[in-house]
Amino acid sequence: MTVSYGGDPVVRDVSLDIPQGELTMIIGPNGCGKSTLIKTLARIMKPERGQVLLHGRDIWSYRGRQAARHVALLPQNPVAPDGITVRGLVRRGRFPHHTLLRQWSPDDDAAIGFALERTGLHDLAEAQAGELSGGQRQRAWIAMVLAQQTDLLLLDEPTTFLDIAHQYDLLELCRELHREGKTIVAVLHDLNQAARFASHLIVMKDGRVVTQGPPSQVLTPDLVAEAFGLACDIVPDPRTATPMVIPHASLAHGVR
């Protein structure tokens, strides 16, 4: 598919499959089309050419609420309404399941309870979302998309603005959900975090997919140099044995 905002394409002639049941991380330099790709997968952006197929059907052939029962998106920097509680925010994840004939039901309460429990927010359910710490607030948004009970979770830069401890806390939660069978796609900037947590990597540059596959096969010094312009060594992470990127010293400043 090819996607643009009315000018030059931002995503160019991309073909890919999102593996079911995997934790997929999309990485690439700034402006390479990562967020546009994930918005297109979520039915926010419509391709100029090509299709996004959901269960074999063009995603745009579904009605909005139908698609939202299969795919949930957590965008960058979501904003909660003033005065909303954590429970009220998570309740919004149930809207796609409601129709004129089907309003609130015990299934909705069960889904919200599960999402709050799974994200460790049950004791904060009545707290104001705006008063939470950054890590707690991001967990509340994750709880909202979990309550949506979709096949696929799409997370656009979910660790942005979180401190390092909360970044790893959130990524551990994603890994736990993946192990429980969720299909998750997340845009990340940190190569070492992506290598540690992903079971599948998609690498982008200039609107195109450079390569994709397991981190152990995808992350090589040549690939990092091609996609990011960074000379590096790849060594096993001493904790997890996953690939770890060690940048070379900068020659631009005369450091060797």
Question: pLDDT of 114-173, one tens digit each?
Answer: 999 999 999 999 999 999 998 999 999 999 999 999 989 999 999 988 999 999 999 999
Contact 146, 115 (CB under 8 A): yes
Q: What DSSP character marks residue 80?
A: P
Contact 31, 189 (CB under 8 A): no
- Beta-strand ranges (E) seen in the chain are 3-4, 9-11, 23-27, 53-54, 57-58, 71-74, 152-156, 183-187, 200-205, 208-213, 232-236, 243-247
Amino acid 209: pLDDT: 97
pTM: 0.92
- Which parts of the chain sit beneath pLDDT 50? 252-256
CA 105 to chain centre: 29
Contacts of 234 (CB under 8 A, 6+ apart): 219, 220, 221, 224, 243, 244, 245, 246
SS3 readout for 176-231: HHHHCCCEEEEECCCHHHHHHHCCEEEEEECCEEEEEECHHHHCCHHHHHHHHCCC
Amino acid 102: pLDDT: 72
Contact 95, 114 (CB under 8 A): no
The domains found in the chain, sorted by start residue, are 1-70+150-214 (3.40.50.300), 82-148 (no CATH)
The burial of 198, by beta-carbon neighbours within 10 Å (0-12 exposed, 13-18 middle, 19 or more buried), is given as buried
Amino acid 9: pLDDT: 95
Contact 38, 87 (CB under 8 A): no
Amino acid 5: pLDDT: 93
Amino acid 251: pLDDT: 54
Q: How far is CA 152 from CA 44, 83, 101, 213, in A?
A: 15, 29, 26, 19
Contact 124, 131 (CB under 8 A): no
Here the tokens at position 231 are 């000379």
- Name which of 140, 188, 253 is nearest 30 in CA terms: 188
Amino acid 98: pLDDT: 87
